[in-house]
Each structure stands twice: as structure tokens, then as C-alpha cells.
Amino acid sequence: MTDEPERIDITWLDPIRLKLSEDDTVERLVARLKDHIKAANVSKLERSVYIIRMAGSFVIAYPSGASPVVYIGRGDSVSRLAKHLKKWATGVFTWGSDTSIEIRVLRPSRKNRPDYFKNVEADLLEMFSARFGGLPLINKRYEHQYEGCVDYGTSQTAKLNQAIGIGKGNRHKWAIKPMPSNPHYDTYFRGEWE
């Protein structure tokens, strides 16, 4: 009896790193984001998943460990990420002098599974919660109705877990968490108890 080969059905774009320069505007950041995604020459990003991560000398101190992940989302990556940059993501740059963000975009695709991208996002949120003790800093809710429906196989599960962790060879000196005066304080503690 032979084992079936593992099905690899998640395409990973190269990580996109954005840093705010002194003369940058949100519009310039959005334009750079769109240029990065356009250069990747991929289609069908309206059903994608993205992970927004800190890139710098510190990570977020979650209840059960540290991670650079601040948000996990899904949908049309280009428009959703542009909205996040305009609404809250540019505020991340004020958290430290060397702060930048890294965006990892995944394109899940399985035949006859139009909601597969929703499953991937839900499972990433659950994996994150199980490992770090709550939701990523900016996420406000779980997506329980879509989680646990997919067997990713060993290598895809490892890649998903790697995407939410610090990463091999990275040695951060600090892990921070929001104080009550931080606008993300309530969101940070909401995910811990659900």
C-alpha cells in the first residue's frame, strides 16, 4: 500500500515588507503595496488570506508566548490591506523606531471548495489562539463556523504554524503588550478569554 502524495494547495506570495519613511503618506504606502502584489503576477486574490506581522526589534507579548503577528484576515487582499493601512496599520509604525510590517499573502485553492480561504483563515486564528493564548492583537473575533473542516497535511500545517511564529534565527530583544491607554487594549484582552 502506497501513501498518497500530500496535496499542496496553498500558494504563498513572497513576503511584502513595508517601512514608513519620514516623507511617506498612507497613499504612498498603499501604492507600494499594490506594486508589490502586481509584481508577484498572481490572480484570484479576492479569495486570499493574509497575515500582518511586525518586522523590527520587538514582537507582541501574548498570554502564552510571543509572536510578531498583529492581524490575520481574508478576502480581496489588495483592497482589504489598503483599507487596513488607511485605518490602523500605519499606526504600527509608531510603536518603535525600527518598526516595519511584513505582509504574508496566501492563496488557498481547492476544487469545489469556494470557502476554502475562509477555512484557512479560521484555522490560522485557532492555531494562533492555541499557541499564544488569544487572538492576534487587532483581530476582534474567531471564525469558528469555518474552522476544523480541512486536513492540511504535515508540510502545509508546518508552514501555517511557521507563519504565525517568530521564525527560525530571529532573536528579538523585546516583547510588548498594550497598556490601558492604548486603543488596542480591549481587543488584545478580548481574544484571551474566548
2 domain-assigned: no
98 domain-assigned: yes
4 domain-assigned: no
Residue pair 31/78 in contact (Cβ under 8 Å)? The answer is no
pLDDT exceeds cutoff 80 at 19: no
How many domains are there within the chain? 1
Q: Hunting for cell 513572497 — which residue is that?
A: 14
Percent of the chain with pLDDT over 90: 28
159 domain-assigned: yes
Strands 174-176 and 58-62: parallel
108 domain-assigned: yes
Q: What is the mean pLDDT of residues 88-105?
A: 71
Question: pLDDT tens digits for 24-33?
Answer: 777 877 788 7
Q: What is the pLDDT at residue 157?
A: 92
User: Coil, helix or strand for 168?
Assistant: coil
Q: What is the DSSP string of 33-102?
A: HHHHHHHTT---GGGEEEEEEEESSEEEEETTEEESEEEEEEE-HHHHHHHHHHHTGGGGGGG-TT-EEE
5 domain-assigned: no
CA 98 – CA 100 distance, rounded (Å):
7
CA 72 – CA 159 distance, rounded (Å):
15
3 domain-assigned: no
Q: What is the pLDDT at residue 2?
A: 44
Question: pLDDT tens digits for 69-90?
Answer: 999 999 877 777 777 776 665 6
Which has the higher per-residue pLDDT, 130 or 189?
130
Q: Can you read off the three cell numbers belonging to residue 121?
A: 483563515
1 domain-assigned: no
Q: What is the mean pLDDT of residues 120-136?
A: 95
pLDDT exceeds cutoff 60 at 34: yes
- For the ranges 78-87, 125-134, 172-181, the lowest mean pLDDT is seen at 78-87
Which has the higher per-residue pLDDT, 121 or 17?
121
Domain that holds residue 82: 10-193
